[in-house]
Structure 1
Amino acid sequence: ASFASEDLAEDAETEDRPAVQVGDPYAEKLLIECNEALIDEGLVLSARDLGAAGLGGASSELVAKGGHGARIDLDRVHQREPNMSPLEILLAESQERMCYEVAPEDVDRVRDLAARFDLGCSVVGEVTEGNYVCTFPADGAGDERGNGERETVVDVPAEFLADGAPTNDLDSVDPVQPDRDLPDVALAEAFEAVVSDPTTASKEWVYRQYDHEVGLRTAVDPGDDAAVMAMYETETGRNAGEGEVADDAEAEVGDDADGEGIG
């Protein structure tokens, strides 16, 4: 959201690429069809799309709804760009991605369906009882299975990320009502005076005296507000017609005066 208010420089395509969501309609269609197949086979326990706040927002909300925690290995996540930092992986908002919770015995079937639709699929973590924890290889150590020395980059209750953001409760003060110099008149009399005034009353008695459809130039009919008439430019008219006749008359008179064209 903050990126939308920034001024873009010449190198914005390179420098600000992480802030730009690059959509892929073809991949989106495949993901929709794969999602329907997963649901039809009853393989999805819960799901979130990776929209705002990326994997961090989707996965923390997913487990917080059930009062659980999670352990996520960020280096297992599919990445759009190489050498992404843990923070970038966690918050990237690249398109056409979903986060699913599935039973361990259904993981292989989910992989098969993803392969059928030519989509990437990886197990990035597990649901746990405890905090929401994300780890990343420390100084490049570790392997794709999460083994080796790892660094914990997030360790907080999932409820805090999903619903525990502090709110800014401001003191409220009732506004002071200004003094008003209102006329001391009866409501019925005031109403009658307003609706009977010529500027407020109906103008139907005027526009009903003629057919406003004659000429087919009424763009907006009268009644609700001011009527609007369409004005068409034309080359013909009284002045143009008189000019053409005058030119012809002068030419004919001139020819006759010279003795030509006399029958």
Structure 2
Amino acid sequence: MDKPNFPLARKREFIQTSPYITTQPPKTTFLSLPPEIRIIIYHLALPSRTIIPITAPPKSKPKTQRTALLRTTKQIYTEASFYFYTRNTFRFSNGSFGSRSHANPQGLQHFLKRVPAKHLALIRRAAIDIYLHFYYWGDEGAAVSWLHGPPQWGSPAIGDALRMADQVTKHLTGLKFISLEWFEGFDTYHPIGNQPIYLHHRWRIEHVLQSSRNAKCSIGIMERLLPGKMLKMIVMEERMAKMMKAALDKLMERNGLAGNILHKVDSSGRAWVVHYLFVRKDFKDILSGSSPLG
């Protein structure tokens, strides 16, 4: 018997019943977030927990997550720059010659050249370290003092500090808060060929304002940084703190500054901290409360 003829099976069409969506959802980019969310992110990501030292430029570009946000797009750079410069404290110093880890004059010069003027004007807080005594190691290895005896006008250390104060006042026009700290001791470097070795002995340096001449030099530096800024001074002795207060009172009277808006002397560990707010009579942006520099 012949086999029955069955109709040929039709080609079946399979319908995909997978629960997963094959089409890709639209991408969510950082700039597509609402401005309010981006501002919150800037507030969380950009402020540093420590003071940022303005050092000599490194040999290679540092890889840091904090500043990487500023290098993404022009729009993000424009938005984020405001929060980076207004919410951080920057450290400047006349010591640590050429150091890539500690604040120094070479770092300040590089900083002023690289950062746009509009961003320099956004800086509100600065910590300034002033070295009253300077030493360096000569080419033959002999210790050479830049400053013999008490600090005086015309010495390299004080000269660098005065130039630093002039530049800070000229370029950081939005500065409101200043922390001043004085050091006396060694700040050394030993050039070997073309590769200097930097020896920074900051942890051995005493906080001093030991004489009236020291105070005079320090007052001269402060005159360049005033008025209209919160000033936090760190000195070693209560006697010196009281002497600085008397000198500052005379300075305020001589320069027509307003009364002592905020003055507090307290013991912080081994050092005495003097808080002072200088305000010109026409300066209306009175800042209240304690210094944000902590």
TM-score normalised by length of structure 1: 0.25
- Structure with the higher fraction of residues in helix conformation: 1
- Structure with the higher fraction of residues in strand conformation: 2
TM-score normalised by length of structure 2: 0.23
